[in-house]
Amino acid sequence: MDARSLSASRRGLMHLHKVGTPPKQNLLREFTARVKETFFADDPLRPFKDQPRSRKLVLGIQAIFPIFEWGRSYNWKKFRGDLIAGLTIASLCIPQDIGYAKLAHLDPQFGLYSSFVPPLIYAFMGSSRDIAIGPVAVVSLLLGSMLSKEIDPYLKKAEYRRLAFTATFFAGITQAALGFLRLGFLIDFLSHAAIIGFMAGAAITIALQQLKGLLGIKNFTKETDIISVMHSVWGNVHHGWNWQTILIGVSFLSFLLVAKYIGKKNRKFFWVPAIAPLISVILSTFFVYITHAEKKGVQIVKDIEKGINPSSVNQIYFSGEYLLKGLKIGIVAGLIALTEAVAIGRTFASMKDYQIDGNKEMVALGAMNVVGSMTSCYVATGSFSRSAVNFMSGCETAVSNVIMSCVVFLTLEFITPLFKYTPNAILAAIIISAVAGLIDIPAAILVWKIDKFDFVACLGAFLGVVFKSVEIGLLIAVTVSFAKILLQVTRPRTAILGKVPRSNVYRNILQYPEAVKVPGILIVRVDCAIYFSNSNYVKERILRWLMDEEERVKAACQPTIQFLIVEMSPVTDIDTSGIHALEELHRSLEKKNIELILTNPGPVVMDKLEVSRFANLIGEDKIFLTVADAVSSCSPKQADEV
Amino acid sequence: MDARSLSASRRGLMHLHKVGTPPKQNLLREFTARVKETFFADDPLRPFKDQPRSRKLVLGIQAIFPIFEWGRSYNWKKFRGDLIAGLTIASLCIPQDIGYAKLAHLDPQFGLYSSFVPPLIYAFMGSSRDIAIGPVAVVSLLLGSMLSKEIDPYLKKAEYRRLAFTATFFAGITQAALGFLRLGFLIDFLSHAAIIGFMAGAAITIALQQLKGLLGIKNFTKETDIISVMHSVWGNVHHGWNWQTILIGVSFLSFLLVAKYIGKKNRKFFWVPAIAPLISVILSTFFVYITHAEKKGVQIVKDIEKGINPSSVNQIYFSGEYLLKGLKIGIVAGLIALTEAVAIGRTFASMKDYQIDGNKEMVALGAMNVVGSMTSCYVATGSFSRSAVNFMSGCETAVSNVIMSCVVFLTLEFITPLFKYTPNAILAAIIISAVAGLIDIPAAILVWKIDKFDFVACLGAFLGVVFKSVEIGLLIAVTVSFAKILLQVTRPRTAILGKVPRSNVYRNILQYPEAVKVPGILIVRVDCAIYFSNSNYVKERILRWLMDEEERVKAACQPTIQFLIVEMSPVTDIDTSGIHALEELHRSLEKKNIELILTNPGPVVMDKLEVSRFANLIGEDKIFLTVADAVSSCSPKQADEV
């Protein structure tokens, strides 16, 4: 009792240090605040605050079409940068597009279509200045493998194409919906580490697929996993391979890789790898044309349809069995495309230090794909390789995308016939050298160094993609990511605190070996919000710390434990189960007559301790602002004993 | 620069206050430690530590069969307690069992069977002293509704029963497996609040089902939702109801409720509600027998098979389509049964202050149900109502369960024929008065007070069960529980800290209105581990705090912000994405030339900041032990400015 009264009087003196209970909020305010934090964390209406209506209208339009915002300050200097950048990425995208279209089992022109319309739409609605829009390897692969599971891309060309447009349409809808419903944060559930592994796996899978073109193999497996690919490669080694193709392919591949290497070595030669693909296309095409290598079994692109995107509105399946299939595929492809685009957007935004609104970005990408699906495009998004080139060649705004799409327009209108003799081997080589950039080994090593569990996600995604399929890889990535979150909330860390000498701060004795325990007092810190998922664990863990300490104390015949201080600074929230756990803890401590003392509970926790009467149960005067205060309040009783 | 060098020299002086990097652990040790915390949090091998082999053997046996542990200290005094308790719960369970069996669409004797074998097994293996084992209302309902979806319980009696045993078998396997694989924590994912709602909903559904017996309705709906039940009740009002049945039912129901009320009012009359059911069974049976009310349409139990459990090993489906169905139903029923039993076990354990090992408990329950499934029992578990009675009538050990099962044995052997004339209305009345106890309104109110989100889970589960079905209710409960966890890790709280006057502690200025901001410095606390799921949000939130503060400062023309201190005490862990976010934060702060300072990162975080080189990036001397230190290191530069 004396201790209690004493500490009470003590509290009288230092009433300023009392733990504050926050001013009671009414339910509605609290609720809206929570919703705001969840869905409108970026406070999109900030600029609209106290503005005249007319201004609000302008701001609204600018919010939907950022071009009206940055367009007003656009000038020739910026245009020069955009022009150069636009031409560079155009030269890079044209051959890539043709290759990626093959990856999605579509005719070459659809790749080019997808580099014409979507970039234009994005230029008006997008908020990233550096992203380069168009078809990308991973999404093309994903789309190709998922679509071809439903319809055979070569026997039923028309249906396949229609399903592709349907998927693209729903991909767009998904993206726009996520953005519009402010659910952008959902894509954050795919961890960075998982993406690294997924990308690397996809890159390898894509490279393997290119062996078909590179070795000139005719009957190639439909599977994408490494085993069946290798099997069909070696199975064809004697009769399947075509040496002329291999010659062309390998020589140009090495040329491309050398160019890449030069670009990496010396930043100011970044344009070398950028234009290398176009050069090799031109050279090889010319070479095949004069030598008529196609007669010697070198496969060529053959005819690419001339002219710009035909409409495809009436080709989308809005009914029938394919509607649902398209929807399913669209959602998956849309989410992957989104993840890639947003990741790119954020990276470059933070390099040039401007904010991009994730949700607004999603609406832009969604709108772009919806329009795309109606103009014979398949899912387009931001491309890692081209965005990097765009950035390095000094783009200023999304205008570089417009330039690119103009070049693509001209290509479609006039020079597609020239691609007739382009050997597939070259496209294969170009794709291989492009996706090589998706394998980021240093990043993987860093992940391993920083967080082993992350690395498991990374490796799992990688192996899943390489040995099974893209979808399985994705599934693994997501599952592991979730498992990690659940583990985090189920098994929070706890720590024993000791006094850091010559200070009155108390810290984890494992981290600060010099910190010393206070005799007769056990100080435990709980490092997580106490929720139903961990409340029971937390309770039992604390009791186990206590048991261990009591054993140790008995062994060392030091004063017995009389006070258990639970440092709650990191406990940011608590729920019904948590309160129950505390009550049970208190009960079993009473049995051992050990006093339970809490320090520094946060506003939410304090509030809940009050309403649940737990504060009264242990006594208001048993809740302190700092561990130091709490300890000083125990010490006198200590003195009597020792 | 001067600030940096200054703070550096400062750190020289107070080197003791340097943030400690924990002694490097090797990977394996770290990993095993994590695994141990996750699966062996309760350290089951503790007692085995440094014991001779012979002792270890004994301990091992005692670990599997706790009876050998408490049995040795068993005495007559304890037996007296157990005897009384055992007889009391027996008198309560016999009528309940018959009723619950009907709830599961099984013949009455199966209810009694399930109160004979399982309690015996549990008495040997279980670690709870107060739990009363047997069939329970909720599980019976769940089983009945799920099984009858697969097989019609009245047209295909035999198959139905076989499927029931199959489900019971797999329920047992599931429970034992969870315990054996140390996955006990999985059941913690069903939040306390959700259980409250679910139980209340189930209680109401069960009560509604009893209207069939209570009103003597012949053709009753098979659905369990309130709408269709009410529909078939009022549909039968004119021709379906039987006034004699209603008379008996209602009169005895009121008798039971009065008894319950007495028991509640005065704790020492707890036995009144406990024996009331048996009394009303005897009275009503006698009444029907002499008046031959069964001829006037009062439905009676008819014959209950005499004799104890026949074997049912060869009746379990180990192949065919029903194997999978049984498995599915078994898993669900097993989990629910487990949740109920463990909840009861923990409650009473904490009342008498003894530990029960969740995982060991699960193995015991699992074994009991597996054996049960082979002896014509259906899923048994701990019953709320009977355990409470058991506790109040002063049980000492699981022996009370043995007593009960002996009484049930005698009942099966000799007096089942006497139940022939027992009217179903009585059983209905007994069940209604029993499940009434599952509706815990005060608890629901408390949940509402403490945590609104929890209440949503509670209400969702309740409405789901009442208006749709038990499974839907469960689904809602689990979903909402998970949603809550995800929300917690996606949108962690952040707070602005200020200096509490006359102290050098810094606290949330919303909680401590008297706390004052330090001019030129913004102190933000992040209240959660920084993971991929929230890293981006955290970064942007901090930048938004900064933006707000800068606006405020400009308005009040106070010194501009030059230092951003991120208080990381609550940040217990960080992953690759988290590090990235910090790097991006640092980059955009550099642009504004604001210095980033960290305080008190935990051991794990500190370690990761080191390996990821982030510590070097911002400078080791920018990481402090306390906010106070950090502030003092900034102040000089401050001085120059102001």
| Higher-confidence position of B12 and B104 | B104
Do the chains contact at A532 and B603, CB–CB below 8 Å? no
Q: What is the 3-state secondary structure (H, E, C) of B458-484?
A: HHHHHHHHHHCCHHHHHHHHHHHHHHH
Rounded Cα distance, A522 and A562, in Å: 8
Do the chains contact at A16 and B514, CB–CB below 8 Å? yes
Residues of A in contact with B584 (CB under 8 A): 346, 350
Do the chains contact at A192 and B527, CB–CB below 8 Å? no
Find where tokens 């032990």 sit: B625
pLDDT higher than 90, residue B376: yes
User: By the CB < 8 Å criterion, does A511 face chain B?
Assistant: yes
In terms of Cα–Cα distance, which of A278, A270, A244 is closest to A98?
A278
Q: Cα Rg for chain A, rounded, in angstroms?
A: 32
Q: Which residue of chain A has the CA closest to B582? A: A350
Those of residues 32-61 in A touching chain B at CB distance below 8 A are 37-38, 41-43
B594 token code pair: 């604001």
B226 token code pair: 């309130």
Rounded Cα distance, A114 and A373, in Å: 9
Rounded Cα distance, A524 and A585, in Å: 13
| Side-chain half-sphere exposure of B321, counting CA atoms within 13 A | 3
pLDDT in tens, A576-590: 888 988 998 998 898
Residues of A in contact with B569 (CB under 8 A): 569-570
Rounded Cα distance, A473 and B569, in Å: 36
Do the chains contact at B192 and A454, CB–CB below 8 Å? no
Do the chains contact at B451 and A481, CB–CB below 8 Å? no
Q: Which residue of chain B has the CA closest to A608? A: B450
User: By the CB < 8 Å criterion, does A489 face chain B?
Assistant: yes
Which contiguous run of DSSP H or E holds residue B637?
helix B627-641
Per-residue pLDDT band at A118 (split at 50, 70, 90): very high
CB contact at 8 A, B599 and A507: no
Give me the pLDDT at residue A331, please. Answer: 93
pLDDT in tens, A297-323: 788 888 788 888 999 989 999 888 899
In terms of Cα–Cα distance, which of B385, B399, B326, B403 is closest to B172?
B326
Give me the pLDDT at residue B377, please. Answer: 95
Mean pLDDT for B145-153 is 90
In this prediction, what percent of chain A has a pLDDT beyond 70? Answer: 94
What is the phi-psi region of residue A600: left when phi exceeds 0, alpha when psi lies from -120 to 50, beta otherwise? left
Distance from the Cα of B83 to chain A's closest Cα (Å) equals: 28
User: By the CB < 8 Å criterion, does B577 face chain A?
Assistant: yes
Residues of A in contact with B41 (CB under 8 A): 491, 537, 540-541
User: By the CB < 8 Å criterion, does A491 face chain B?
Assistant: yes
What is the phi-psi region of residue B320: left when phi exceeds 0, alpha when psi lies from -120 to 50, beta otherwise? left
In terms of Cα–Cα distance, which of B147, B94, B146 is closest to B119?
B94
In total, the C-beta contacts within 8 angstroms joining chain A to chain B are 259
Q: What is the ipTM of this complex?
A: 0.78
Do the chains contact at A580 and B489, CB–CB below 8 Å? no
pLDDT in tens, B316-374: 998 888 999 999 999 999 998 998 898 888 888 877 878 777 888 899 999 999 999 99
A161 token code pair: 């194409």
Do the chains contact at A591 and B489, CB–CB below 8 Å? no
Residues of B in contact with A543 (CB under 8 A): 355
Distance from the Cα of B612 to chain A's closest Cα (Å) equals: 7
Mean pLDDT for B558-581 is 88
- Positive or negative: CA dihedral A168, A99, A278, A304: negative
- Helix or strand or coil: residue B506? strand
Rounded Cα distance, B100 and B144, in Å: 10
Strands B506-508 and B494-499 turn out to be antiparallel
pLDDT higher than 90, residue A401: yes
Rounded Cα distance, A358 and A188, in Å: 11
Distance from the Cα of A386 to chain B's closest Cα (Å) equals: 22
Give me the pLDDT at residue B25, please. Answer: 61
DSSP per position, A313-326:
GGGS--SSHHHHHH
User: By the CB < 8 Å criterion, does B580 face chain A?
Assistant: yes
Do the chains contact at A485 and B577, CB–CB below 8 Å? no
Best mutation target, B359, B448, B511, to test chain A (most A CBs within 10 A): B511
Q: Which residue of chain A has the CA closest to B357? A: A540
Amino acid identity for residue B110 in this structure: F
The beta-carbon contacts of A411-414 under 8 Å, at least 24 apart in sequence, are A411/A94, A411/A112, A412/A109, A412/A112, A412/A113, A412/A116, A412/A306, A412/A307, A412/A308, A412/A309, A413/A306, A413/A307, A413/A308
- Helix or strand or coil: residue B418? helix
Question: Within a 10 A sphere around the Cβ of A235, how many other Cβ atoms?
Answer: 15
Those of residues 400-429 in B touching chain A at CB distance below 8 A are none
Distance from the Cα of B340 to chain A's closest Cα (Å) equals: 15
Mean pLDDT for A490-504 is 85
Per-residue pLDDT band at A12 (split at 50, 70, 90): very low
Distance from the Cα of B559 to chain A's closest Cα (Å) equals: 24
Q: What is the 3-state secondary structure (H, E, C) of A117-179?
A: HHHHHHHHHCCCCCCCEECCHHHHHHHHHHHHHHCCCCCCHHHHHHHHHHHHHHHHHHHHHHH
pLDDT higher than 70, residue B5: no
Q: For residue A255, what are the CA distances in angstroms to A260, A273, A429, B246?
A: 9, 10, 10, 94
- Positive or negative: CA dihedral B272, B274, B277, B283: negative
User: By the CB < 8 Å criterion, does A251 face chain B?
Assistant: no
Q: What is the mean pLDDT of chain B?
A: 85
- Helix or strand or coil: residue A576? helix
Taking the mean position of all CA atoms in its chain, how far away is CA B118? 22
pLDDT in tens, B412-439: 998 888 888 888 888 889 889 888 888 8
pLDDT higher than 60, residue A376: yes
Taking the mean position of all CA atoms in its chain, how far away is CA B66? 24
User: Of all residues in chain A, what percent are helix, strand and coil, respectively (each to 5)?
Assistant: 70, 5, 25
Which contiguous run of DSSP H or E holds residue B494?
strand B494-499
User: By the CB < 8 Å criterion, does B483 face chain A?
Assistant: no
Give me the pLDDT at residue B582, please. Answer: 92
Rounded Cα distance, B280 and A365, in Å: 71
Of the candidates A501, A541, A608, the beta carbon closest to that of B16 is on: A501
Mean pLDDT for A506-533 is 87
Residues of A in contact with B537 (CB under 8 A): 41, 185, 188
Q: Which residue of chain B has the CA closest to A505? A: B626
User: Of all residues in chain B, what percent are helix, strand and coil, respectively (each to 5)?
Assistant: 70, 5, 25
Phi, psi of A423 (to 5 degrees): -70, 140
Those of residues 440-479 in A touching chain B at CB distance below 8 A are 446-447, 449-454
pLDDT in tens, A35-92: 777 777 666 777 777 778 888 888 888 888 888 888 888 999 999 989 999 998 998 8
Q: For residue A250, what are the CA distances in angstroms to A244, A554, B637?
A: 10, 76, 62
User: By the CB < 8 Å criterion, does B354 face chain A?
Assistant: no
User: By the CB < 8 Å criterion, does A354 face chain B?
Assistant: no
Residues of A in contact with B485 (CB under 8 A): 485-486, 489, 531, 533
